[in-house]
Amino acid sequence: MDHWQNFSRRDFIKISSLFLAGSAAMSGSAGQAFSRLGQSGSGENGDRIVHSFCEHCFWRCGIAAHVRDGKVYKITGSEHHPLSQGKLCPRGTGGIGLLYDPDRLRHPLIRETKGGKQYYRKASWDEATGVVAEKLYGIHEKYGPGAIAMLHHGFGVSFFKQMFSQIGVNKFSKPSFDLCCGPARQASVLTYGYPSGTPEGFDMKNSKYMIFFGTHFGENMHNTAVQEISDGIRRGAKIVVFDPRFSTIAGKAEHWLPIKPGTDIAMMQGLMHVLISENLYDRSFVQQHTVGFGELWDSVRKMTPEKVAEITEIPAEAIRTVAREFAFNAPAALVHSGRRTNWYGDALQRIRAIHILNALVGNFKMPGGVIDYEKFSLKKPPAGHAHPPYERDVYSRYPFFAQDEPSNSIASHEVIQQAISGEIKALMVYGVNLPETMTLGRKTAIEALQKVDFMVAVDVLPAEVTGYADVVLPECTYLERYDALDAGRKYRTPFVALRQPAVEPMYDSKPGNQIAKMITDKWGIHGAFPATVEEGLDKTLRLNGSSLEEIKKTGVIVRPESDLYRKAGQPLNLKTPSGKIELASSLLRKAGFDAVPHYTPQPEAPEGYYRMLTGRKPMLTFGRTANNRFLGDVATAKENEVWVNAETAARHSLKNEEYVHLKNQAGVVSEFPVKVKVTQRIRPDAVFMVHGFGHTAAKMTWAYKRGASHNQLISRTDIDPAIGSVGFQNNFVTFIKEA
């Protein structure tokens, strides 16, 4: 990586000569000027109530932790936080199950070899962070900063980014981009000129007609989105769901259309065809505010409802009906882009097609349509050091990978491949349970973890990934620590939220902000972090007319709702090359890709095999809740099932609630058996199983051997050539009955 040339090597050696000299200066006592624990007055029974935000999923709702006798005994939704509005999903309430998980990592661990056998021994923080500092330093010296990478998932990572920026390491990967929301983010950039965020910019509260393609609202409990959809239903909004499975949201739909999996782009083209050929689209909007209409029409001209019906197995008349109703209700009508948008290798184009549908009916910045929320413009104190240009380097070789996200400069599968090829020698893994994360499947992930010279895991639980680490650093949970302010997100009412500790860290765990500071201190680099995390937060908040003491009371600062809707006659001035909504993307064309989306068929299942689809249970977020006994203590949460259509079940003589092993097209057999759910709620050519079960780490005593691992059965991935996202729905399974 040539950016390294710009970094002064001499300076660095000077710094490094101080290596380890920092140990004595480290561990300054935290926050004397501030009360260490969160406080915001007393609650119902004289409890202490601490307003903070959740970490069980990326929605990061506001919570109120109720503390009695030094223990968090319940968590409720914060009434002050705009994303929770007093409400919570099960996982929010379930924070106590993580905090008091008996399997939590309790001490720093260091890998040792004795008599040819490897084991972990307990270590002090001083020793463990010393080893991490030394190993990272050594690899940095020998191979340069490009040989170190960090995979991360979770809000607490900011301190480790700051730590790495001190030594010029910025190869950071956020697997959630590749596996979840990347296509939605980048399709929005290409079409509207800005990335989509969390919550996604859809005015569901005011919509009359909402179309979902395989988006499982209700099973994925995105709190505010579910609240808005419910408001919509109460107001009489109609819902349309295209999904091979009768999901919970399909159960609320006026039209559930069990589309053949993998044919969604064809359906979207069919809808475009009807909108255009029947002259239902918003002609003046399209003329004024979009480019590429002619090219779009050429691409969908032949996608008649009859042709699309053959591909998607949805009747032509239903396609016409949906297109007509969509146009009739526009602009208060929308097609939602969904959240986990990586299905196949053409994910970016699929989400582009969704945005094109929205643009055709002119719902952009209209009540009930597509909207762009506003960010809280948080003033920040000047950075500790000037940000050299290389900090914005992107290492991904995919042309439309995020270019403007410093925390995400390379795809997770590229990190894995570079680890296997030897380019990456050291990995820090923050909150990513790599062997159970869909990136190229379990086998490849383990190969990468075993190949690198040094791996350090920062985690709360002894997840599979921690077993491959040389050093394990136990972070305390989000209920025991401060983190950075949550201020980077757009919403109706722009906000800043505080994470503050409800209780002291348990065992010998530490907050990320202290861990990162300890390692940086051991490099001999001082002043990278404020003396205490509280001091840093207070400084920033004071720049914004508040203070730490002030924000602690409610956990948020909220600005009034901004005007989200466009005014007639005003140009959109978007940050696309044309300044308009790009129906045909000039950037895609320039890079040699299709400028408008085209349907391409996906491979069919081998005889006797079924396409493996996945999703969630509402009380579980994959790995983060897998070992949560509190959340597991409801019958429907205890294990995952494989959903099999009754006809398919009969073909394989499967009985309801029978346990089977699954075998995929590459011959991989599930480690553990899984319960069969015989149902009418899925197409006969597909099966469904929730991700995040079938854990093999015996130290996660609750999660161990519960259900089967969806991840283990991924042998094929389809990487989107434009953005590098990972599709994995071209995996097929069959059943092996118990002997």
Residues of span 663-722 touching other proteins by CB under 8 A: 679-684
Q: What is the DSSP string of 450-510?
A: HHSSEEEEEESS--GGGGG-SEEEEBPPGGG-----B---EESS-EEE----SSPPPTT-B
Q: How far is the CB of 627 from other proteins (least distance, A)?
A: 15
**Given 18, 634, 650, 698, the residue binding other proteins (CB under 8 A):** 634
∠ CA 696-701-702 to the nearest 5 degrees? 95
Binding flag, residue 355, other proteins (CB under 8 A): no
Quick one: which of 16, 23, 27, 227 contacts other proteins (CB under 8 A)?
227
DSSP element (H, E) containing 190: helix 182-192
Per CB under 8 A, the list member of 80, 252, 566, 611 interacting with other proteins is 252
Shortest Å distance, C-beta 335 to other proteins: 18
The verdict on 78 binding other proteins (CB under 8 A) reads no
- The rounded Cα 76 to chain-centroid distance in angstroms is 23
Considering only 39, 40, 93, 409, the residue that binds other proteins (CB under 8 A) is: 93
- Which lies closer to other proteins via its Cβ, residue 84 or residue 717? 84
Site for other proteins contains 211 (CB under 8 A): no
Residues 140 and 1: beta-carbon distance below 8 Å: no
Under rule CB under 8 A, residue 561 binds other proteins = no
Residue 309 interacting with other proteins (CB under 8 A)? no
Closer residue to other proteins, CB minimum distance, 76 or 341: 76
Q: Which is nearer to other proteins, 340 or 681 (CB)?
A: 681
Name which position in 18, 28, 42, 73 contacts other proteins (CB under 8 A): 73
Binding window for other proteins (CB under 8 A); candidates: 6-14, 236-244, 346-354, 695-703: 236-244
User: Binding segment for other proteins among 100-108, 221-229, 354-362, 503-511 (CB under 8 A)?
Assistant: 221-229
The region of 260-268, 293-301, 634-642, 661-669 touching other proteins under the rule CB under 8 A is 634-642
Q: How far is the CB of 506 from other proteins (least distance, A)?
A: 18
Figure out which of the listed residues 21, 233, 650, 698 binds other proteins, where binding follows CB under 8 A: 233
Residue from the set 256, 400, 643, 728 that interacts with other proteins by CB under 8 A? 256
Tokens of 377: 């413009």
What minimum distance in Å lies between the beta carbon of 328 and other proteins?
A: 14
Q: What is the largest CA-CA distance in the chain?
A: 78
Select from 630, 688, 728, 735 the one that contacts other proteins (CB under 8 A): 630
Q: Which of 605, 619, 676, 722 binds other proteins (CB under 8 A)?
A: 619
Cα dihedral 435/437/438/439 (nearest 10): -70
Q: Taking CB under 8 A as the rule, does residue 88 contact other proteins? A: yes
**Size of residue set near other proteins by CB under 8 A:** 58
- Using CB under 8 A, which of 123, 237, 458, 461 touches other proteins? 237
Cβ distance to other proteins smaller for residue 231 or 594: 231
**Segment near other proteins (CB under 8 A); pick from 120-128, 139-147, 243-251, 689-697:** 243-251
Closest CA to 77 of 227, 204, 287: 227
Shortest reach from residue 618's CB to other proteins, in Å? 4
Cβ pair 2, 498 in contact under 8 A: no
From the CB of 413, what's the least distance to other proteins, in Å? 32
Binding flag, residue 318, other proteins (CB under 8 A): no
Instruction: Report the site for other proteins in 94-113 (rule: CB under 8 A).
Output: 94, 96
Closest approach of other proteins to the CB of residue 683, in Å: 7
Distance CA 245, CA 614 (A): 10
Q: By CB under 8 A, is residue 321 in contact with other proteins?
A: no
**357-366: burial string, b at 16+ Cβ within 10 Å, e else:** bbbbbbbbbb
Amino acid identity at 192: Y
DSSP one-letter string for 578-593: TSSEESS-HHHHHTTS
Left if phi > 0, otherwise alpha if psi is -120 to 50, otherwise beta: which for 144? left
Check residue 513 for interaction with other proteins (CB under 8 A). no
Q: Which is nearer to other proteins, 481 or 617 (CB)?
A: 617
Backbone angles phi, psi at 371, to 5 degrees: -135, 160
Structure letter (DSSP) for residue 29: P
Tell me what percent of the chain is helix, strand and coil, each rounded to the nearest 5. Answer: 35, 20, 50
- Cα(348)–Cα(733) distance, rounded to whole angstroms? 26
Residue 152: beta bridge partners?
A: 430
| Alpha-carbon 86 to chain mean position | 23
Task: Please say which residue, 401 or 688, places its beta carbon nearer to other proteins.
Answer: 688
φ, ψ (nearest 5 deg) of residue 535: -60, -45
Stretch that binds other proteins, among 13-21, 82-90, 99-107, 572-580 (CB under 8 A): 82-90
Q: Which stretch binds other proteins (CB under 8 A): 230-238, 285-293, 466-474, 578-586?
A: 230-238
Could you tell me the CA-to-CA distances from 225 to 104, 238, 262, 511, 564 in Å, in that order?
32, 16, 25, 30, 17
Which of 28, 41, 70, 86 touches other proteins (CB under 8 A)? 86
Residue from the set 3, 36, 74, 539 that interacts with other proteins by CB under 8 A: 74
- Report the residue from 5, 10, 17, 44 that binds other proteins according to the rule CB under 8 A: 44
Under DSSP, the state recorded for 604 is: P
Compute the Cα dihedral for 413, 419, 421, 424 and give only its sign: positive
- Smaller CB distance to other proteins: residue 66 or 135? 66
Q: What is the 3-state secondary structure (H, E, C) of 342-374?
A: CCCCCHHHHHHHHHHHHHHCCCECCCCCECCCE
The yes or no reply on residue 618 touching other proteins (CB under 8 A) is: yes
41, 70, 251, 488: residue in contact with other proteins (rule CB under 8 A) = 251
* Cα angle, residue 484 at apex, residues 476 and 435 outer, rounded to 5°: 50
Q: Contact with other proteins (CB under 8 A): which of 451, 629, 638, 705?
A: 629
Asked if 126 contacts 1 with a C-beta cutoff of 8 angstroms, the reply is: no
CB 200 within 8 A of CB 184: yes
Would you put residue 275 in left (φ > 0), alpha (ψ -120 to 50) or beta?
alpha
Instruction: Choose which of 249, 402, 518, 613 interacts with other proteins (CB under 8 A).
Output: 249
| Amino acid at the residue 639 | E
Q: In terms of C-beta density within 10 A (0-12 exposed, 13-18 middle, 19 or more buried), how is residue 634 classed?
A: exposed
- Separation between Cα atoms, residue 461 and residue 692, nearest integer Å: 14
Asked if 82 touches other proteins (CB under 8 A), the answer is: no
Centre a 10 Å sphere on the Cβ of residue 346 and count the other Cβ atoms it contains: 26
Smallest distance, other proteins to C-beta of residue 505, A: 22
Nearest distance, CB of residue 715 and other proteins, angstroms? 29
Among 3, 36, 87, 307, binds other proteins (CB under 8 A): 87
- Rounded Cα distance, 347 and 438, in Å: 15
The distance in angstroms from the start CA to the end CA of the chain is 55
Tokens read off for 62: 């506001």
Options 17-25, 127-135, 247-255, 540-548: segment touching other proteins (CB under 8 A): 247-255
90 versus 197: smaller Cβ distance to other proteins: 90
Residue with tokens 């008996």: 102
Least Å distance, CB 444 to other proteins, is 34
Our finding on whether 657 is near other proteins (CB under 8 A) is no
**Minimal CA–CA distance to 59: which of 158, 176, 152?**
176
* Interface with other proteins (CB under 8 A), residue from 182, 218, 474, 494: 218
Q: Does 226 bind other proteins (CB under 8 A)?
A: yes
Q: Which residues bind other proteins (CB under 8 A)?
A: 44, 73-77, 86-90, 92-94, 96, 217-219, 221, 223, 226-227, 229-231, 233-238, 246, 248-252, 254, 256, 258, 618-619, 629-631, 633-634, 636-637, 645-647, 679-684
